[in-house]
């Protein structure tokens, strides 16, 4: 995809050796569709298949990529282990993409995020002062640290109601857009001056099999609501 004379490609990191939730990204999540299938279909509403690059340590993923017309990159198994550094992972995946495009880093583990058209529009109009875009969600709760100290309010009857709390944001790890200039300095998903793309979509955090089942129920529920709008 070319926008304002800048090439934009999609990188999907796709591990298949999750220790906490075996085969998390490829097992059935909604009907026969896996988390990968869901994200692939979402991306294809906006991107051409040849704009998408999937990086996995599993050669079998190449057949899944062929189903959607995506490009496949066989990743070193060591780069899927917990010992791998994030900059090593990012640089290996990005450098496997030909040319020197800007990169949308997209993870399949947030199936409810499907605002890629808005995200692309944001990117096409991005002020040059921003070196990246991070999808975030506002945190509107009263937060304590591990020692019981208030983080975004003060104890007492004068404490601020949730609507008046300072703006804090959670990184959703659903999608990022990284300008090439920033990438070559940091090899990380977020630069020094990111634009915060705020989403209101619900988040799911899949850390075990129970989380997987709950996330599947939520996805089915919200999908039905969307279909009825």
> Domains, the chain, ranges and CATH?
2-227 (3.90.550.10)
pLDDT in tens, 28-83: 999 999 999 999 999 999 999 999 999 999 999 999 999 999 999 999 999 988 89
Rg (CA), the chain: 19
Query: Do residues 220 and 159 lie in contact, with contact meaning Cβ atoms separated by under 8 Å?
Result: no
Per-residue pLDDT reduced to its tens digit, 185-211: 889 999 999 999 999 888 887 888 998
CB-neighbour burial class of residue 85 (10 A; exposed 0-12, middle 13-18, buried 19+): exposed
Q: Could you tell me the CA-to-CA distances from 64 to 36, 41, 58, 186 in Å, in that order?
A: 9, 12, 11, 31
Cα–Cα distance measured from residue 36 to residue 146, given in angstroms and rounded to the nearest whole number:
35
pLDDT in tens, 157-173: 778 888 878 889 999 99
Reported pTM: 0.90
Q: How far apart are the first and last CA of the chain?
A: 30
pLDDT over threshold 50, residue 229: no
Structure tokens at 132: 């990246």
pLDDT digits (tens, 9 = 90+) for 173-183: 999 999 998 98
For residue 217, pLDDT beyond 70: yes
Q: How confident is the model over 132-151, as pLDDT tens digits? A: 999 999 988 888 889 888 88
- Non-local (6+) Cβ contacts of 70 within 8 A are 12, 40, 49, 52, 53, 54
What gap in Å lies between CA 177 and CA 13, rounded to an integer?
Answer: 14
More confident residue, 229 or 209: 209
Q: What pLDDT is attached to residue 65?
A: 97
Give the other-Cβ count within 10 Å of 2's Cβ: 9
């Amino acid at each position: 995809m070319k926008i304002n004379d800048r090439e934009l490609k999609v990188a999907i990191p796709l591990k298949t050796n999750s220790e906490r939730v075996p085969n998390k990204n490829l097992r059935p999540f909604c009907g026969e569709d896996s988390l990968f299938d869901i994200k692939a279909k979402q991306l294809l509403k906006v991107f051409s298949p040849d704009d998408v690059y999937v990086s996995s340590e599993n050669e079998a993923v190449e057949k899944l990529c062929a189903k959607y017309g995506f490009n496949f990159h066989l990743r070193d198994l060591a780069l899927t282990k917990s010992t791998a550094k994030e900059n090593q992972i990012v640089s290996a995946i990005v450098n496997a993409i030909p040319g020197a495009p800007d990169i949308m880093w997209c993870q399949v583990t947030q199936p409810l995020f499907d605002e890629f058209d808005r995200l692309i529009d944001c990117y096409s109009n991005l002020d040059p002062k921003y070196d990246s875009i991070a999808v975030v969600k506002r945190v509107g709760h009263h937060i304590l640290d591990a020692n019981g100290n208030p983080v975004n309010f003060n104890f007492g009857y004068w404490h601020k109601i949730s609507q008046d709390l300072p703006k804090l944001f959670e990184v959703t790890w659903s999608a990022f857009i990284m300008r090439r200039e920033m990438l070559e300095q940091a090899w990380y998903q977020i630069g020094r001056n990111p634009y915060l793309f705020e989403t209101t979509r619900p988040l799911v955090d899949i850390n075990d099999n129970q989380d997987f089942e709950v996330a599947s129920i939520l996805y089915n529920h919200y999908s039905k609501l969307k279909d009825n709008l």
